[in-house]
Amino acid sequence: MGGYLDGVLLDQVSKRYGRGPWVLRDLTLEVTGTVVLTGANGTGKSTLLKIAAGVLKPSSGRVVRPASVGYVPERFPSDVKMSASSYLAHMGRVRGAGANDVLERLGFVGSLSAPMSELSKGNAQKVALAQAFLATDLLVFDEPWTGLDPEAAAELCVMLEGRTALVSDHEGHLESATRVDLAGGHVTIELSRVVGLDALEALEGVQSVLSRGSSARVVVAPDRSDQVLAEALRLGCSVRSVR
């Protein structure tokens, strides 16, 4: 279980709502650094982010996350009567952190003392971000650029640099981050007698590598699975299954 204190590990996570169709199926993903989630509407990005943040339980599978997780939901509740200053002071106490400069950096110009339900969409989003940035280990952001003006949007990109974060991003704000495309699906390759773990991790199309002893589970984009398999064999690994 160790080794994920700063990031999050989703291990064979599946999710369906009630008896509905499977939204996520056997998804394994390890987040260290910044990972951007992409995929068409309805492919399960928000569902995955809620599971990573711990606000939704998976139907099956395992999630290992650090203690301090900051979450920005797709829609910040619009009916909150509390003022932004009271809310952020409360969240600061919960987090054991002092006031932060996020609102200022994002150019918040709304009223700190009025009910948050009266804030503009963009200013409410800045409050949502301010509470989430109080977290120290992992950031889970669902379309965090929603409603932000261009200056704030650019500043948010800077603020995410060097953080461990799982972020959905329709508009391509974080061009250099690792991308995981939910619509594209994935292929899971189980290996034994694993050698050259670093070389496998570095291969194009590899989304995550979960190693246990001399075995490893490698999750790969479907269009790169043949190349990854060939490289694993070339390195001397044994392939136990591909699915």
* Chain positions contacting ligand ATP, by CB under 6 A: 17, 20, 23, 39, 41-47, 74
What is the C-alpha separation between 85 and 51, in angstroms, rounded? 28
Strands (DSSP E) contained in the chain are 8-16, 22-31, 34-38, 60-64, 69-72, 138-142, 165-168, 178-181, 187-192, 206-212, 215-220, 238-242
CB of 46 or CB of 225, closer to ligand ATP: 46
- Residue type for position 168: S
Q: How far is the CB of 168 from ligand ATP (least distance, A)?
A: 7
Nearer to ligand ATP, 72 or 229 (CB): 72
186/217 with CB nearer ligand ATP: 186
Choice between 164 and 168, CB closer to ligand ATP: 168
Residue entry with tokens 């390759």: 189
Compute the least distance from the CB of residue 53 to ligand ATP, in Å: 13
Q: How far is the CB of 20 from ligand ATP (least distance, A)?
A: 6
Cβ burial, residue 152 (10 Å; 0-12/13-18/19+): buried
- Shortest Å, Cβ 183 to ligand ATP: 9
How many CB atoms are located within 10 Å of the residue 62 CB? 12
